[in-house]
Amino acid sequence: MGQLVRELPPCGFKRARGMSPYQSLVRAVAHQQLHAGAAERILGRLTALTPGPLFPSPEELLALPEGALRAVGFSTAKALALRDIAAKTLEGVVPSLRQLARLDDETIIQHLTAVRGVGRWTAEILLIRLGRADVLPSDDFGLRSGFRATYGGKLLPTPLKLRAFGERWRPYRTVASWYLWRAADRARPRPAAKSRAKS
């Protein structure tokens, strides 16, 4: 990891500001298994369903007619997940930003994974976006690829192996995650440059 830090630019991790856990979860669900551009288009159509500048509040989302979420591009599973995120935000299961500040990471993960469609990976990514310094989403394919590129080996490490190895990076596992993601980017094969056609 020390060599990786020396070879790559300084950590550019930045906290996402002005976004509530509810908003972050809605965005995370929209992006699941979709290209970023497609997810953003769906979120744009979701925003257009209500008059505000942001996508619907929990109350507004739950008041949408049945089928409205499907109509803007969400699958049935994702539409159900969004409605559960909204409902559990109103119930207090999804904490507010102020509540998050008083909770430790594992307690937050337990709260968030009680929501339909939100697994541990999604909860950990949300924690990173909220600025938590010691998060290692060991199920993440990119992190595991970055670990293999940095430490060698033919096979990707299992999440369990990465989690155990990552104990040495406490209390800055978020920074280690950032560097492993950059290592995965650096190791990804680049498409060969096309030769110019002869005129």
Overall average pLDDT of the 24-40 stretch: 86
| pLDDT exceeds 60 at position 1 | yes
pLDDT at 192: 58
> pLDDT tens-digit profile of 138-184?
999 989 999 999 998 889 999 999 999 999 999 999 999 999 999 99
Q: How many Å apart are CA 146 and CA 157, to the nearest integer?
A: 10
pLDDT band at 32 (very low <50, low <70, confident <90, very high): confident
Tell me the catalytic residues. Answer: 140
> Is 135-187 a domain of CATH 1.10.1670.40?
yes
Q: How many Å apart are CA 28 and CA 151, to the nearest integer?
A: 30
> pLDDT tens-digit profile of 95-135?
888 888 899 999 999 999 999 988 998 899 889 888 899 99
Q: Which CATH architecture has domain 21-129?
A: Orthogonal Bundle (1.10)
Transcribe the chain into DSSP letters. -HHHHHHSPPP---PPPS--HHHHHHHHHHHTTS-HHHHHHHHHHHHTTSSSSSSPPHHHHHHSPTTHHHHTT--HHHHHHHHHHHHHHHHTSS--HHHHTTS-HHHHHHHHTTSTT--HHHHHHHHHHTT-SS---TT-HHHHHHHHHHH--SSPPPHHHHHHHGGGGTT-HHHHHHHHHHHHHHHSPPPPPPPPPP-
Asked whether this chain's domains 21-129 and 135-187 adopt the same fold, the reply is: no
| pLDDT exceeds 60 at position 198 | no
Tell me which amino acid residue 198 is: K
| pLDDT exceeds 90 at position 45 | yes
**Would you list the domain boundaries of the chain?**
21-129, 135-187
pLDDT band at 13 (very low <50, low <70, confident <90, very high): confident
> pLDDT tens-digit profile of 185-197?
888 877 655 444 4
